[in-house]
Amino acid sequence: MTVLIAFATVEGQTAKIARFISNIAKEAGYYTRLINTDELSGPVSLDGAKRVILLAPVHERRHPGTFEAFITSHKDELAIRKSLVLSVSLKAAFASGHEEAHDYLNEMLLRTNFKPDATALVAGAVRPENYGYFEKEIVQHVVLLGRNIDPRDGAREFTDWDELASVVMTFLDENDQADLTSLK
Ligand SMILES: Cc1cc2nc3c(=O)[nH]c(=O)nc-3n(C[C@H](O)[C@H](O)[C@H](O)COP(=O)(O)O)c2cc1C
């Protein structure tokens, strides 16, 4: 069975997460197809994919426009497939940030009018080597306000790879079981 993994990324962490998901799905016996929504010039066919995992980072409270456009322009094709949406942010790295991280995800789903079968928040990373002055200020003084983390100290990854693997495999396995039951 083929799993389509559609992602957007700005500094690279979500691309790394997408590759990780592809690798663990392949190890579990699935075929995978990776799509970077920033590289699309128009709609693509989702034929052949029975499951879809969509993931994107949050920058200034929103997921990238190309990612939202992908969801909006493929809504009918997505609606007939089992789907998991992962929202990657730094607020997701801290319990006190979860409410805000949920807001980003819910607002995106409201805007696109998309109702996935499952969703999860995923903690991203601080990658100062990819920031200009403006990005460094936003991350330090807005996103990480009140936390003892300084982008000048270098890259820091908050993604919990074990938890992510568990979310992805639960989504894939549960839906496999549902398919087998419906065939009985
Ligand atoms: C300019 C900028 C704005 C950001 N805004 C937010 C934000 O509003 N909320 C949040 O939780 N994380 C925010 N982040 C953190 C990113 O979501 C996090 O670094 C994520 O790992 C980026 O993924 P990417 O490398 O795939 O682009 C921001 C990061 C940058 C550089």
| Single pTM value for the model | 0.95
Distance from the CA of 4 to the center of ligand 1, in angstroms? Answer: 24
Per-residue HEC secondary structure of 60-98 comes to CCECCHHHHHHHHHCHHHHHCCEEEEEEEECHHHCHHHH
Mutational pocket test of ligand 1: of 5, 36, 89, the residue with most ligand atoms within 8 Å of the beta carbon = 89
C-beta separation of 104 from 58 below 8 A: yes
Q: Which helix (H) or strand (E) holds 53?
A: strand 49-57
Distance from the CA of 15 to the center of ligand 1, in angstroms? Answer: 13
Distance from the CA of 57 to the center of ligand 1, in angstroms? Answer: 6
Query: Which domains does the chain carry?
Result: 2-124+159-183 (3.40.50.360), 128-156 (no CATH)
Q: Is the CB of 131 under 6 A from ligand 1?
A: yes
Query: Could you give phi then psi for residue 94, rounded to 5 degrees?
Result: -130, 135
pLDDT, tens digit only, all 184 positions of the chain: 999 999 999 999 999 999 999 999 999 999 999 999 999 988 899 999 999 999 999 999 999 999 999 999 999 999 999 999 999 999 999 999 999 999 999 999 999 999 999 999 999 999 999 999 999 989 888 888 888 888 888 899 999 999 999 999 999 998 666 666 665 5
pLDDT digits (tens, 9 = 90+) for 5-15: 999 999 999 99
